[in-house]
Chains A and B, each alone.
Chain A
């Protein structure tokens, strides 16, 4: 608009006024879409919204990343057009909403165990049950027979294990304890699965930065952070044994593999946990993150615009995932989602 104004500025006030009026007309057609939810996918969501805005300047998407719980509450109250969450909504939460809410996976993330053992630089191997026993407080020393058995050749010291975990409610915690509950019956009954749980042992620190800071500073500490965080901050992390018996390091490929393995058994509503997924090359502590949209949205014009955005996100948008440390969706899941998007009632 500035260019037009500059070009025609000399023609006098009347033309300028006309152009301003035209400009106002364009502005009135701008679609502003509000969303809220998970912090974990914030980096790629803001990238997507700004890239999409470059392609379609008339579409502006605002996203408040205040947590998955916040996103679920806001979509239930219909104060935002879409929500976002790292853990699928529970049946109770779905019932509390005034209409049917659809889940759409957008990208994938993983949670990795990080540790600080004086004198050990090698990557440690973990199994699910051993991780569960560590976080239950049953394995208390780094030279416990279970750990030395998994890691022959690494001289593990006789140091106490200090657990570092999230103090804030978090989707990261949800993914991690969801995995522990699947591999340890005791974890499932004693602790359970939620965004914040009653930890048997350990120190709480806020955020990925808090947990990694605590681990870096405390000799003998173990904690868990999101893969992107470990990559961006160059924190070394352990490998975890998957159901096929392989010790797999988290990476964009191994996380996408987990999603591809789950694609065959994908429920129609996409509310699926892919921790401890079967298959080769699969990293077992992986998860989708979801967008939440009403099946029958009240605001039809906005819904039409947002559906177009979602199609772009599942297509071209996926290209941005890997460079930002997220794993892109496998093609099978994209196909299923494109079919599901058609169910959103636009009329």
Chain B
């Protein structure tokens, strides 16, 4: 009789304590948003919504427009998504469906190792290995292809394609790890049913993919979110030229890269505020992408009975600068 209320009290404290920690997380995210808003008020007042669509970036004249950076960030991340997507899903299928048990652990370890390499190391690799490859790829293309706007540009190797490739390599471990968890969470009964109906292995895998499609999309979106915020590796290979161009061989710029490059030496308050506003734009876009991907995964896990919780094993969505 005496023990029950004491237990109840400790439970309450436990719940409130952990609840407070969870609340801190919410407050931090809100705090970041508020601070970014406050610290960029000069730029917000001066440029308003024109900031999102104008292309001038001239610190000397005090003209700032974010469009080339928004373009570059979305372009490089989408490019990375298209390159990394099929590969990540392929890795996930192989590891969860086809891989011999002896090989599985080493391969999982290797993909996770890719995620652990610091981005500056990827950047160095990009400078010394990837850029010359992209340059020779570009010079080997026939002239009529290089006349197409999507493939035009000087043969320097430093380009949107280099950025997309390096980002793809960096997000593959994230996307494939989550996609593997999603495939693992597909109930065995699904595959058994497919085999019972006379399916081949390929058809059974397709059924499993179809069953987990929302989660697979969520896995890709997590990778996309990480690509949006990646800074160091991208700035080393993209050419840092604020011009929104369609060509994959054109040097361009991204939001995270311009902040990292110019903030420390911002020439005046307006320049600094404009850079913080770019941070705000990036924060909003990253938040939307991550919320979207989370909702997709939750949606999928809620469809099944609560016996297994695959989403709990997913790595945290990335925040710009976390790498």
Q: How many A-B residue pairs have CB under 8 A?
A: 96
Contact A162 B58 (CB under 8 A): no
Query: B265, A68: Cβ atoms under 8 Å?
Result: yes
| Of B58, B154, B261, B265, most A-chain CB atoms within 10 Å | B265
Contact residues on B (Cβ < 8 Å of other chain), bracket? 20 to 34
- Contacting residues, chain B, for A217 (C-beta < 8 A): 127-128, 131-132, 157
Q: Hey, which chain B residues are within 8 Å of A191, CB to CB?
A: 60
A 131-167 to B, binary, CB cutoff 8 A, 1 in contact else 0: 0000000000000000000000000000010100001
Instruction: State the CA gap A92–B270 with chains docked (Å).
Output: 13
B300 interface residue per 8 A CB criterion: no
B286 at the interface (CB under 8 A from A): no
**Which bracket fits the contact residues of A?**
20 to 34
- On whether A66 and B262 interact (CB within 8 A), knowing A194-B59, A203-B156, the answer reads no
Asked whether B119 is an interface residue with its Cβ less than 8 Å from the other chain, the reply is: no
Please indicate the chain A residues that have their CB under 8 angstroms from the CB of B263 in the complex.
Answer: 169
Q: Which of B56, B127, B131, B257 contacts A167 (CB 8 A)?
A: B257
Chain A residues lying within 8 Å of B239, measured Cβ to Cβ, are 203-205
B264 and A198 contact, CB distance less than 8 A: no
Bound-state Cα–Cα, A214 to B59, Å: 24
Q: Are A170 and B265 in contact (CB under 8 A)?
A: yes
Pairwise interchain contact A205-B267, C-beta atoms closer than 8 A: no
Task: Judge whether B265 and A69 touch: CB under 8 Å.
Answer: yes
0 or 1 for each of B232-267: is its CB under 8 Å from A? (1 = yes): 000110011100000000010100010011111111
Contact with A along B32-58 (1 / 0, CB 8 A): 000000000000000000000000111
Interface contact B241-A203, CB-CB below 8 Å: yes
A-B contacts, 27 listed (Cβ < 8 Å)? A92-B268, A160-B154, A167-B235, A168-B262, A169-B264, A169-B265, A191-B60, A195-B265, A195-B267, A196-B59, A197-B59, A197-B60, A198-B61, A199-B241, A203-B156, A203-B158, A203-B239, A204-B241, A205-B236, A205-B239, A205-B240, A210-B127, A210-B236, A213-B128, A214-B158, A218-B135, A218-B157
With CB as the reference atom, state the residue of chain B lying closest to A174: B265
Residues of A with C-beta under 8 A to B61: 192, 198
Cβ contact within 8 Å between A194 and B157 = no
The smallest C-beta distance from B287 to any residue of chain A, in angstroms, reads 26
Report the minimal beta-carbon distance from B34 to chain A, rounded to whole angstroms. 21
Q: Which of B60, B127, B131, B158 contacts A192 (CB 8 A)?
A: B60
Q: Does the CB pair B267–A169 fall under 8 Å?
A: yes
Which residues on A sit within 8 Å (CB–CB) of B266?
A: 69, 169
- Report chain B residues within 8 Å CB of A162: 154, 156
A168→B267 contact, CB < 8 A = no
Docked CA distance A54–B62 (Å)? 46
B182-236 at interface with A (beta carbon < 8 Å)? 235-236
Interfacial chain A residues near B131, Cβ < 8 Å:
217
Query: Does residue A101 face the partner (Cβ distance < 8 Å to B)?
Result: no
Taking CB atoms, residues of chain A closer than 8 Å to B59 are: 169, 194-198
Interface string of A55-74 (1 = CB under 8 A from B): 00000000000111110000
Distance of A169 Cα from B59 Cα, bound (Å): 10
Q: How far is the CA of A214 from the CA of B251 in the complex (A)?
A: 13
Choose among B128, B236, B260 the residue with the greatest number of A CB atoms under 10 Å from its CB.
B236
Given known contacts A203-B158, A203-B241, A204-B241, A198 and B127 CB-to-CB distance under 8 angstroms: no
Docked CA distance A197–B58 (Å): 6
Instruction: Tell me if A193 counts as interface (CB < 8 A to partner B).
Output: yes
Residue in A68, A167, A214 whose Cβ sees the most chain B Cβ within 10 Å: A167
**Chain B residue at minimum C-beta to C-beta distance from A191:** B60
B243 smallest CB distance to A (angstroms): 10
Assembled-state Cα–Cα distance A202/B127 (Å): 17
Give the complex CA separation of A167 and B257 in angstroms: 9
Interface residues of A in 199-213 (CB under 8 A from B): 199, 202-206, 210, 213
Report the bound CA distance from A316 to B266 in whole Å.
35
In contact, A203 and B240 (Cβ under 8 angstroms): yes
CB atoms of A194 and B60 under 8 A apart: yes
A218 surroundings in chain B (CB, below 8 A): 135, 156-158
Taken together as a complex, chains A and B put the C-alpha atoms of A70 and B235 apart, in Å, by 21
Q: Which of A67, A192, A199, A202 is in CB contact (< 8 Å) with B265?
A: A67
Per the bound structure, the CA–CA distance linking A170 and B240 in Å amounts to: 15
Interfacial chain A residues near B56, Cβ < 8 Å: 198
Q: How far is the CB of A292 from chain B (nearest CB, A)?
A: 15
| A205 and B268 alpha carbons, distance in the complex (Å) | 22
Smallest CB-CB separation from A201: which chain B residue?
A: B241
8 tightest A-B CB contacts, nearest first:
A169-B265, A204-B240, A167-B240, A192-B60, A198-B58, A67-B264, A69-B265, A168-B261
